[in-house]
A and B are shown apart, each in its own frame.
Chain A
Amino acid sequence: MSTETPSQPDTPSADELRTRIDDLEAELANLRSEVEDGPKKMVIIATKGTLDMAYPPLILASTAAAFDYDVTVFHTFWGLEILHEEHASNLKLSSVGNPNMPMPNVLAALPGMDEMTTRMMRKRIADNDVASIEELVQLSLDSGVELQACQMTIDLLGYDEEDFFDGVTVGVGAATAFQEMAEADIQLLV
């Protein structure tokens, strides 16, 4: 092994340093504009398929799109129901274990109770001019929101690509969702 000390590089001149500083400043300005000019990003993970829990992800997604956010909603487990063309118009409320329902659990568990509370809720939704789930899905897609259906749970629940609304992205998994979350400014699990 050589014991020679490596030769010292020449000390840069003031002009060279100035050029280097100019280069670095230009590079910094480029990076800064890249960071500032790109659209902000929001990712929502939607895991629930009851009527009440279908609203928040869709309302936030379509609203964020109106704020020029790049929005992805990753639907997994019962969240897939929101994207299911037939099921989306038929989501239900659960009366059992819901302390906001005006009835005790022993009554809530009776047959037909979920249908009754769901009907009540639908009436209130209509009376209050609140959009339907299908309308919000369409609105989100029209606003450029990426609605993704988790492939693993599509297979698990025995669904097919054709079951979902046109424009829904299939064939995506946890890694895709994670990668998007890592890049996002806002990440929510619903």
Chain B
Amino acid sequence: MRSNIDVTETLDVTGQNCPMPVIKTKGAVDGLSPGDVLEVVATDSGSMSDIEGWAESTDGVELVEQVEGDGTYTHYVRKTE
């Protein structure tokens, strides 16, 4: 699934629950440059809805894809500006 996404950096938030995935994603995205893609690997099932909602409401980020499988939830977030 991830073959066509050029990942710049990976953030591991496995074993962390709400609100950590969103907050750490935000922190990691702040350190990226426009065009970069952050891969976020989580085990919190709520992160699917939370990261989607966060990306929708936040300027300068775009949710590229979310992949669910094997107890993990992987998110791809692009920094756009």
Q: Which residues of A are interface residues toward B (Cβ below 8 A)? A: 59, 62-63, 65-68, 128-131, 139, 143
Indicate if the CB atoms of A63 and B19 lie closer than 8 Å.
Answer: yes
- B70: Cβ under 8 A from any A Cβ: no
Nearest CB on A from B68, distance (A): 18
Q: B1-35: which residues lie under 8 A (CB-CB) from chain A?
A: 15-20, 22-23, 25-27
Q: A62-B23, A139-B23 are in contact. Are A128 and B58 (CB under 8 A)?
A: no
Indicate if the CB atoms of A128 and B17 lie closer than 8 Å.
Answer: yes
| 23 residue pairs bridging A and B, Cβ less than 8 Å apart | A59-B18, A62-B19, A63-B19, A63-B22, A65-B26, A66-B22, A66-B23, A66-B25, A66-B58, A67-B54, A67-B57, A68-B58, A68-B59, A129-B17, A129-B43, A130-B17, A130-B18, A131-B17, A131-B20, A139-B20, A139-B23, A143-B26, A143-B27
Complex interface: chain A residues within 8 A of B19 (CB): 59, 62-63, 66
Look across to chain A and name the residue whose beta carbon is closest to the beta carbon of B17: A129
Report the interface size class on chain B: 10 to 19
Complex interface: chain A residues within 8 A of B54 (CB): 66-67
Nearest CB on B from A57, distance (A): 12
A129 to B71, CA, bound (A): 14
Nearest CB on A from B40, distance (A): 13
- B44: Cβ under 8 A from any A Cβ: yes
A65 to B54, CA, bound (A): 11
Look across to chain A and name the residue whose beta carbon is closest to the beta carbon of B15: A129
Indicate if the CB atoms of B18 and A66 lie closer than 8 Å.
Answer: no
- Given A66-B22, A129-B15, 12 more contacts at CB 8 Å? A59-B18, A62-B19, A63-B22, A65-B23, A66-B19, A66-B23, A66-B27, A67-B58, A129-B44, A131-B16, A131-B20, A139-B20
